[in-house]
Amino acid sequence: MSPALAQTVNKPNTSVSVALTAGANPSLVGDALTFTANVTPNSATGTVVFFDGSNVISGNVTLIGGAASFTTSSLPFGIHSVTAQYSGDANFNGSTSSALSQTVNTPKANSVTGLSLSAGTNPSVFGDSLTFTVNVTPSSAMGTVVFYDGPTAISGNLTLSSGTVSLTIPALGAGAHSITAQYSGDANVNPSTSDAWIQTVKKAGAAITIVQAEDIDGLKAGAPGTFMATVTPANASGSVVFFDGTTPISGGIPLNSGTAVFTTSTLAIGTHMISAQYGGNANFNGALSNSIKVKVK
C-alpha cells in the first residue's frame, strides 16, 4: 500500500474594482450615491465592506454574481476616497479595490434679484436721466448683472459690490419699457432674474419759431421770399410744414440740426400770416410756431 500524498491547494487571488453607478461626481451634500464593487472572478462569494478613507461607511454587503452595491446620502462636504474591501471565502482570497475619488459640494444658495428706479420718475419724459439699482440677496453674492430693455441688453456685465450695482440711462425712447436685471450667479449662489420694471416714457415737448430770413420790410410780387423755422431742442428730427394762414404752402421740409428753410415766390399781393408747424417724431410732440405778417407789394 502506497503512502498518502499530501496535496496543498492554495486559494487564488481576487481583484476588486469600485465604481459610482448612480449619482454624480461631483455631487451635492444630501445627494444619494450608489457605489458598486465588482469582484473577479464573479464566482467569488462572501461580503464587501465600503470605506471612506479609513472609515467604514457600510455594513457587510453580500456579493451576488460577483457584485455588491451600497447607497448613501450622508457623505459630507469634501473629497472622499471610497474603496471596497472583499472578505474572501473558502476558495478565494480577500482583496481591496483602488480608491475612487468622490467630490461632494455644498448646494448653491438661491438668489433673489430686486430692481428699483433709484433716481428719476415714472412716468418720465424723453431726455430724463434714469438710474436703476439692483440688489441681490444674499448680499454676499458676487458676480455680474446685465440690464435688459425687453430682450435687448442695455448694459455690459456690471460687477456687484456688496450685492448691489446701478445703471444710469441718459435717455430712454418714448413708450413703455420692460426693464429687467439678470444676475450671473457665482460659485456659491445660483443665478436669477428680477421681475420686470415697466418704465413709461412720455414724449418731450418741442417749440418752434419762424422768422422771415430776408426782405423784412416786405416782398415784391413774384420775388422769392425765404422763411426759416427753428425747432427746440435742436436734436429733434422730423419735418416742418409752412402755412399761409390755414393753407399749407410747402410740403414737409426735413429738419437739419433743428432748422428748416423754405423759399417761395408765389405769394400774391397783399398781407400774409406765415407760420410753421413741426410734426413731431417718436420722442417729441409736434408744435405750432408764431405767425409773422408779410406784406407783398
Beta partners for residue 156, in sequence order: none
CATH number of 207-296: 2.60.40.10
Instruction: Answer whether 74's CB lies under 8 Å from 4's CB.
Output: no
pTM value is: 0.70
* Residue for grid cell 446620502: 73
Residue type at 89 in one-letter notation: D
* pLDDT beyond 80 at 41: yes
Instruction: Answer whether 237's CB lies under 8 Å from 255's CB.
Output: yes
CATH fold for domain 112-202? Immunoglobulin-like (2.60.40)
The model's pLDDT over 211-258, given as tens digits with 9 standing for 90+, comes to: 987 655 678 899 999 999 999 999 999 999 999 999 999 999 999 999
CATH fold for domain 15-105? Immunoglobulin-like (2.60.40)
**Dist CA 149 CA 170 (whole Å):** 14
Residues of the chain with CATH 2.60.40.10: 15-105, 112-202, 207-296
Give the pLDDT score at 217: 64
